Amino acid sequence: MIFRGMISGKKGQLTVFIIIAIILVAGVALFFLIRQNIFVSQIPSSLEPVYTTFLSCLEEDVLAGIDILESRAGYIELPAFEPGSDFMPFSSQLDFLGNPVPYWYYVSGNNLEREQIPGKNEMEKQLGNFVEEKIRNCVFDSYHEEGFEIFLDEGNANARILNTRVDVSLNSDLTIKKGEESVVVSSHDVSVDSEIGELYDSARDIYDYEQENLFLENLGIDTLRIYAPVDGVELTCSPLTWNANEIFNNLSAAIEDNTLAINMVDNKYFDLDLPTEHEIRFLNSRNWSRSFEINPSKEEILISTPVGTQPGLGILGFCYVPYHFVYDAKYPVLVQISGRNEVFQFPLAVVIQGNKPRKALETDAVAIEIPELCGQKNTMTEIRVFDSNFGNIEADVSYECSGTICQIGKTKNGIIKENFPQCVNGNVIARTEGYEEGKQQYSVLQQGAVDVFLEKIYEKNVQLKLDGTNYDGQATVSFVKDDGNSRVIAYPEQKKIKLSEGQYEVQIHMYRNSNLNIGTKTSNYCVDVPQTGIGGFFGFTKENCYNIEFPSQIVSNALAGGGTQNYYILESELQNSNTIEISGESLPIPNSIDQLQENYLLFDDKKLAITFR
């Protein structure tokens, strides 16, 4: 019995200790929970209005910081700015209504893929820093006039972003005095309603969905194929021409409209079933930085020449023009995620290369490896860039070696001194607006210097004449330069051309209305095919013949004038003239496919008269 009593007594003591421990823990938790109220209740009533104003300032600063985070893709302190380039138009930030918004994904000016997505911890840290700085600007002027003395020491703020609210705790001594009464409050807590946590999570879901599926790139490719010439064939005997600037303008407008239509138009094509319950908007503007490139092209003009007009192809009995163009397109899209009263936004770059979407990022963005050559710049070289009169020119300088191009920098007062990678028979390249690209072969083996001369470009009016009379019909005007550069315009829609000094082959193809009707034609073709059975085993063949029917075709435009001329254009001719007058001779209006081909033979013998006026 005694033994049992001892056990019972120990159990009772243990129970008492547990109860005491629970009371202590509960008391501590209750203290921290209501300590702010305790402090506030200790503030004399005459000083409470000052502290109430201070808490209002703190709450306003928190809301202001949240607003900046949401409008700047989760940033208050912007990451380091990285400019774009001619090759890749994106900087590291999108200018949206004057507000710099850091890209979550972009491609830098030197062709490196970049991701800069802030985590919630980073957002909380930046919000805390923002509150620490801004709270010191709280205005107490009216209280000072009433005789209050208010002091706020340096402190630190901690923020916590939750789904439906943001909590901020500021630890800083606030001293309030008036007369004989004073109080010091050290800890200040506010909690504001905010959807930033939920909106940020939805933004990450949308971003990850795009990186995995590249739905924006695929939408861009569909837009490209609808609004621009990509692949096709047309039955015609005259060249097809397109103006690249018009194509880019049409594409820009179509991309802007189609991007805005995502999830906003009652159409299954634009309903992407995105992984979020929030309202999502996708924005693009034709005024934002973007880049379009088309190959093959000659300056602003895309030209596809007909098949069937060449000598020896009369057997076809018709003409057709096949075309295939390859596009590179880069443009920004701003994604906005809307809650009940708040909007979180972030931009990303859409990149289409060679009519195909870029490769998706599997996880975090990995920088495209810098070419090894460009990482070995170790030889100081001086580049001087001049015009034809030895005037200094500000230009972007790069160095090309074995197909690799390394960006060097921009000249100042026409000169740049930088380290170059070593290379034998490389090319120094200088580019600037208003001048032809300059290229000078130079081997970088030791320190040295090289001069690059750029030829100024002049824009001139073009007037064509046919048999001595002004001609305003359809024509293509080509100035093919000996260095491979060429200029082409589609006349009469375009009557201005940009030229520099140099040797050119000038070609004018004039087209006039024709009623040539190439009727349906059937041709018989025979080929040798392997025999079946034992004969095929020993390699015997037999003749197999079949008919091919060519459709009828009306040639509405046919080559009917022009010619070629080799001409060296002096810079003085470009400086002292407004118009280039080019005269050609007419050709017979063709009445058969053979005559049409004959005109192409006669064209080669026709010469042009070129006059600068």
Instruction: Judge whether 446 and 492 are in contact, CB under 8 Å.
Output: no
Cα separation of 107 and 90, whole Å?
7
To the nearest 10°, report the CA torsion of 296, 300, 304, 309. -130
Query: What mean pLDDT is reported for the chain?
Result: 84
Cα separation of 381 and 32, whole Å?
67
pLDDT in tens, 487-508: 888 898 889 999 999 999 999 9
Q: Which CATH code for domain 372-453?
A: 2.60.40.1120
**For the chain, how long is the longest CA-to-CA vector?**
138
pLDDT in tens, 502-538: 999 999 988 887 766 665 556 565 666 666 655 555 5
Beta strands in 396-472 (DSSP E): 396-401, 404-410, 415-421, 423-431, 438-444, 448-453, 458-466, 469-471
Residues of the chain within CATH 2.60.40.1120 domain(s) are: 372-453
Confidence class of residue 609 from pLDDT cuts 50, 70 and 90? very high
Taking residues 254-262, report their average pLDDT. 93
Confidence class of residue 312 from pLDDT cuts 50, 70 and 90? very low
pLDDT in tens, 382-428: 999 999 899 999 999 999 988 788 889 999 999 999 999 999 999 99
Strands 448-453 and 377-386, by their bridges, are: parallel
Report the candidate in 119, 135, 122, 121 with the shortest Cα–Cα distance to residue 190: 135
Rounded to 5 degrees, φ, ψ at 265 are -110, 140
pLDDT in tens, 62-90: 999 999 999 999 999 999 888 877 667 77
The mean-pLDDT minimum among 94-108, 142-156, 263-277, 547-561 falls in 547-561
29 three-class SS: helix
